[in-house]
Structures are given as C-alpha cells and as structure tokens.
Amino acid sequence: MKISILFFTICTLISSSIYGANKTNPDVLRVAILPDENASELIKQNKKLQLYLEDRLDKKIELVVTTDYSSMIEAMRFGRLELAYFGALSYVMAKERSEIEAFAAQMKKGSMMYHGVIIVNNDSMISNIYDVRGKTMAYGDPASTSSHLIPRAHLLLNAKLDIDDYKAVYLGSHDAVALNVQNGNADAGGLSKKIFEHLVERGLISLDKVQVIAISNPFPNYPWTMQSSLDSELKEKIKQAFYDLDDPEITKPLKADGFMPVTDADYDVVRTTRTLLSID
C-alpha cells in the first residue's frame, strides 16, 4: 500500500514538473489537432505549427492527436489540453462540458464558412440524394460536423431521408469515408468539401471512381479553443499568434489561409442543427 502511494506521489510530481505547477501559465502547452485524418500524418504535417507557436509563445508545445472526437472533448474537459482545434459540432459539445472559449476560426478565401459534401461511388447507381434511400451511407465520427451533422441534416431537410431510411456506418475520419466510398464498401458518404478536395489533390481519391452529388449550405468553420482559466496575458499572445499566421506551410495542413476572430455565438446554427437531429 505504501509503495502504491509513493508511486502515485512520484507520478504526480513528475506530471506537475512537466506541465508546470501553475495551470494558468504552464511551461508546456498541449495542443490538440482535430483527429479527422491519420494521426501520425497530422503530427508530421503540423510540425511547423509547433515550432511557430514555440517561438511566438516562448513555451514548449506538445502536439496531440486523440483517438477520436469524444476523447478530445474529454481531454479538454479534464484539463489534459490547453488548446484544441475542434470541429464546430465537437466544440459545441465540449463547450457544454468544460470552461473553454473559441477565439479563432479557420479562414478560407476571406470567409470563416465552409461546406460539407455527399459523395458517391460511380458504380452505385446513385445520381441524386433521393437515391441514398436503402443504400449504405458512410459518416466519419458521430461528433463530426462536416462528416456527420451537415450531410445527415442535408439528407433530412432536402430529401426527407432520416437515419432509418438508409444504412448508416461510422468510420471515424473523413479520409476513411472517402476511401470506403471509392473502394465500394459504402455507396455514399459525407465529409468536408475541403478535405475531399485535399484527398483528390494528393491523388488518394480519383474522380474517375467517385463524384460529388450534393454540397451543403455554409457552416462556421473549425474553431481554435483554449482553456478559459489560462492567464489573460498568455491568452492574448495565443490569439495574436493565430491572427498573425500567414505562412502557407503552416496554414495549408490545417486547410486554411489563416485564422480570424470568432465568438461562441457564431456556432448557434450548429446548436440548432444538432437539436434538429437529436445528436448527443
């Protein structure tokens, strides 16, 4: 028993020394990237972001990619992250459970709005969204905005297709959705328009095998969030570091041109859509 207590105490001391005793201004900032693609690839792609933030904030930056959206929400809730790059829906869900604030949204061509798409395998005999009835529809993570909330709402509002009108499968990430549709394991799938275009650009998805049959209405883009308990001066430095970002080698892996100020109220449309679909 004494050995167990001693071991726990040592672990606690080590943890405190690594991440700083002062939680409002820690020596290390744990920064989570949304797990919408392969984790190791995301870490590699965002190495320059890590170096940029270390230089601007004069702190060690630890990039984190959680196993899924839910674990990212819980990590933020229990203070195991200082910053996190959420999707719109996962941010709304995290906001309910933790004291966090959105401060910057992904910007593309001067806008903070983005779209989801519904794609189909060219051999699936689906030519429009009405044809999804009775077919296999692939989604990413249940807490994903553009790979679940947006395409599911699009089917309901524009084709009166609810979740019971087709076979829904959840594959975890946007790239998994696109690849499974391309390989014929799913007839159709929903994902972010910009991620789909990125996969096509990288040659992972062929337009000879997959096509887009629907583009959604615009939704507010991915928000960067931080713990509300952080030191006010540190928070301002973090905000300015993101607002000043204009290096394409850093912004491109995040599928952005840059980042612009955002508030919690900008995501009320996501809350409304979530209520419509009863997503918890």
Kindly report the three-state secondary structure assignment for every residue of the chain: CHHHHHHHHHHHHHHHHHHCCCCCCCCEEEEECCCCCCHHHHHHHCHHHHHHHHHHHCCEEEEECCCCHHHHHHHHHCCCCCEEECCHHHHHHHHHHCCEEEEEEEEECCECEECEEEEEECCCCCCCHHHHCCCEEEECCCCCHHHHHHHHHHHHHHHCCCHHHCEEEECCCHHHHHHHHHCCCCCEEEEEHHHHHHHHHCCCCCCCCEEEEEECCCEECCEEEEECCCCHHHHHHHHHHHHCCCCHHHHHHHCCCEEEECCHHHHHHHHHHHHHHCCC
pLDDT at 14 over 50: no
Q: CATH top-level class for 116-217?
A: alpha beta
| 2-111+220-269 maps to CATH 3.20.20.60 | no
- Percentage of residues of the chain with pLDDT beyond 70: 92
Domain boundaries, the chain: 2-111+220-269, 116-217
User: Residue 280 has what pLDDT?
Assistant: 77
pLDDT at 21 over 70: no
pLDDT at 3 over 90: no
Confidence of residue 2 (pLDDT cuts 50, 70, 90): very low
Confidence of residue 22 (pLDDT cuts 50, 70, 90): confident
Segment 171-180 shows an average pLDDT of 96
pLDDT at 218 over 70: yes
Q: What is the mean pLDDT of the chain?
A: 91
Q: Could you check whether 2-111+220-269 and 116-217 share the same CATH topology?
A: yes
User: Residue 43 has what pLDDT?
Assistant: 94
Confidence of residue 39 (pLDDT cuts 50, 70, 90): confident
User: Residue 52 has what pLDDT?
Assistant: 98
- Percentage of residues of the chain with pLDDT beyond 90: 86
